[in-house]
Amino acid sequence: MSSDRFYYTTPIYYLNAKPHIGHAYCTVLVDALTRFRRLFGAEVHFLTGTDEHGQKVQKSADARGVTPKQHVDELAAEFRDLWPELHIAYDDFIRTTEPRHMAAVQEALTRLFERGDIYAQDYEGWYSTSEERFFTEDELVDGKDPISGLEVQRIKERNYFFKMSKYGERLRQHIVDNPGFIRPAYRGNEVLGFLDKGLQDLCISRPKERLSWGIPLPFDPEYVTYVWVDALTNYVSALGWPDGEAFARWWPHAHHVIGKDILTTHSVYWTTMLMALDVPLPQSIVATGWWLSQDRKMSKSLGNVVSPLGMRDVYGPDVLRYFLLRDMVVGLDGNFSEEALVKRNNSDLANDLGNLQRRAGGLVEKWFEGRVPERGQGGELEAAIVAAADELREKVPALVDDLQIHAAIEETLQFVRRLNKYVTDTEPFKVVKTDKEAAGRSLYTVLEGLRHAACLLAPVMPEKMATLTASLGASPTGLLADLRWGGLEPGTKLELGEPLFPRRDLPEAPPAEVAPAPVAPPAPKGGAKAKAAEPAGDGASDVISFDDFAKVKLRAATVLEAERVAGSDKLLRLQVDLGDEKRQIVAGIGKTWEPEAIVGRQVVIVANLAPRKVFKVESQGMVLAVETPDGGLALVTPSAAVAPGTEVR
């Protein structure tokens, strides 16, 4: 879906609570996408903002004893000012209480009303204050709101409705015809499933007597606009719809990045509204997963919220951004832990990247008066590095296009690891004593490689990579097309400065794990049966009851990533997709399986084993494998592809 223009949006955040890591993630992701796209030569417009009307916000204001207006003014400033602290550079910030937005919402409603797509009707249904919408009897779960699990109220009132059902078939066709419209693709199937149940009309009003904090309906001042109709319109109101040069310029290139919990409102409510308004649909809707904390979605009521500023204060904005983007696969859930952040900092940033710069820079200071050495005539080793850099420049844009941001980052880190290995292989620290020119050539290769890495990681860590580039005596590369091997000028003075990424100690008391998570690696020996790492016990009772067996939750999982666990030739660290979550599993299959060979395969895991550490790496499940006659391990795997997470029975 390459294009030279992108209009990226984040959800606009409710002003009923302070921003947490989950909110920060979505905004950091869009900021990084924006920076990547600009690096690849595209023009980008990046919009974020705040959702300021509705019952949730009114309630929060009431609880604080201030007017809604006072409340939103204070909190909007908090959101707006937070983002630059995380090096997020949006182009526009929209507040739904701004006149430009309220006018556009009223215009949209007037148009829908005039074309006969809005009608009034008495309605009785189950209303959820938390979700600010009605649910039908069928949709309730145990008589409660199916999303929040909170109580619902029976309400009967006259309201206005948008003829959403009229557009259901057209929407279904659009999704079928445009596979990249909802991303990841499996979320598109969810929406199709939702449409299959039959689309109802959408209640778009709230009587003023029940909720006054909203935009009045232009055709009936006794009502305010349903907050989602109000909020979704931000994506066009910010561009000056219905007129406006900005609208014409950016709207055809719109991509909405949202959390998976608000996919229906975006892919169904918003798209059908656009159809009714004769506005083309956005290019794509990208649904991200959630950051979990202690294995649950962060929420104020669970008390497991992680503050982005707290993390930023300790580790700095760029390390936090790196962790959020590297440890989350777009679309899947991830578990936030400070421990994981510290480990990521120490391994990738302090060890691989930061050390390389210090090592190479230190040698240049000592032996080359702190100036970039001559490139010299490279041999095979140098040619291999240059080829790897060429490949990297191709691969990163393709991965970003595919929204595989974690993989784009990993690709660059692999390149950095390769440079480290090159230093080990060419030993400039020894060679310099006998062949200064050869040592200079090695060091040039490393410094130039670092300049490449800095360019490709700049969208993730803008400030740190600018510092790294400056430390090499180079200026930042604004366009990937301008990044060519050999750009580093011999003779330029290095500006090494302080270490870029200090190593960090693990946090004193990591938060206790609360949820079940499992794992032991499969033992390498045993009979021809699927087995765990542990020996089978004393064998006293081989027969177990059905109930005992039923306690073991076996599920199909898709392997997303695999790498060797440092210090073990047997263990692989796997990231697997269980559909509704992502798990890290340490599996003892490394003697038979290369990491690359297992990525993308479906395996069967024990999903409810208590988590445990294997070689200091937490394993949250166990992969089933069978010993083969030659002593290798065959994986237990479904004979046909199944949805990740499917239970094995």
Q: Does 297 interact with ligand MSP (rule: CB under 6 A)?
A: yes
Cβ atoms within 10 Å of 130's Cβ, excluding its own = 15
Residue 14 binds ligand MSP, judged by CB under 6 A: yes
Q: Which of 331, 344, 333 is nearest to 296 (CA)?
A: 333
94 near ligand MSP, rule: CB under 6 A: no
Q: What is the maximum span of the chain, computed from C-alpha positions, in angstroms?
A: 91
> Residue 257 Cβ, how far from ligand MSP at the closest point, in Å?
8
The answer to whether residue 95 forms part of the interface with ligand MSP (CB under 6 A) is no
Closest residue to ligand MSP in the complex (CB): 259
Question: Is residue 184 at the binding interface for ligand MSP, with CB under 6 A as the rule?
Answer: no
Q: In what order do the strands lie in the sheet with 202-203?
A: 133-135, 118-128, 153-162, 202-203
Q: Among residue numbers 31 through 60, which ones bind ligand MSP (CB under 6 A)? A: 51
Identify the residue among 126, 290, 444, 485 touching ligand MSP (CB under 6 A): 290
Question: Judged by CB under 6 A, which of 28, 76, 238, 258 binds ligand MSP?
Answer: 258
How many chain residues interact with ligand MSP (CB under 6 A)? Answer: 20
Residue 285 near residue 313 (C-beta atoms within 8 A): no
> Is the Cβ of residue 238 or residue 559 nearer to ligand MSP in the bound state?
238
Would you say 73 or 261 has its CB closer to ligand MSP? 261
Q: Which helix (H) or strand (E) holds 336?
A: strand 334-336
Q: Does 239 bind ligand MSP (CB under 6 A)?
A: no
Q: Which stretch binds ligand MSP (CB under 6 A): 11-19, 492-500, 510-518, 566-574?
A: 11-19
Instruction: Name the residue nearer to ligand MSP (CB basis): 297 or 417.
Output: 297
**Nearest to ligand MSP of 93, 123 (CB atom):** 93
Least Å from the CB of residue 256 to ligand MSP: 8
Residue type (1 letter), 72: V
> What span, in angstroms and rounded, lies between the C-alpha atoms of 204 and 229?
7
Q: How far is the CB of 272 from ligand MSP (least distance, A)?
A: 15
Cis peptide before 84 (omega within 30 of 0): no
Q: Which two tokens stand for residue 533?
A: 């790492």
Among residues 451, 426, 452, 450, the alpha carbon closest in space to that of 439 is found at 426
Dist CA 629 CA 22 (whole Å):
48
Instruction: Find the part of the chain contacting ligand MSP (CB under 6 A) among 189-197, 207-215, 229-237, 316-324.
Output: 229-237
Min dist. Cβ of residue 136 to ligand MSP (A)? 21
- Residue 256's beta-bridge partner residues? 9, 285
Closest by alpha carbon to 204, among 254, 134, 150?
A: 134
* DSSP summary character for residue 8: E
**49 versus 524: smaller Cβ distance to ligand MSP:** 49
Strands 92-95 and 43-51: parallel
Residue number with CB closer to ligand MSP (225 or 442): 225
Is 25 a residue that touches ligand MSP (CB under 6 A)?
A: yes
Q: Is 13 in the site for ligand MSP (CB under 6 A)?
A: yes
Q: Give me 313's structure tokens.
A: 């204060």
User: What is the separation, in whole angstroms, between the first and last Cα of the chain?
Assistant: 40
Q: Nearest distance from residue 164's CB to ligand MSP, in Å?
A: 16
Helix, strand and coil in the chain, % to nearest 5:
40, 20, 40
Site residues for ligand MSP per CB under 6 A: 11-14, 22-23, 25-26, 51, 231-232, 234, 258-259, 261-262, 290-291, 297-298
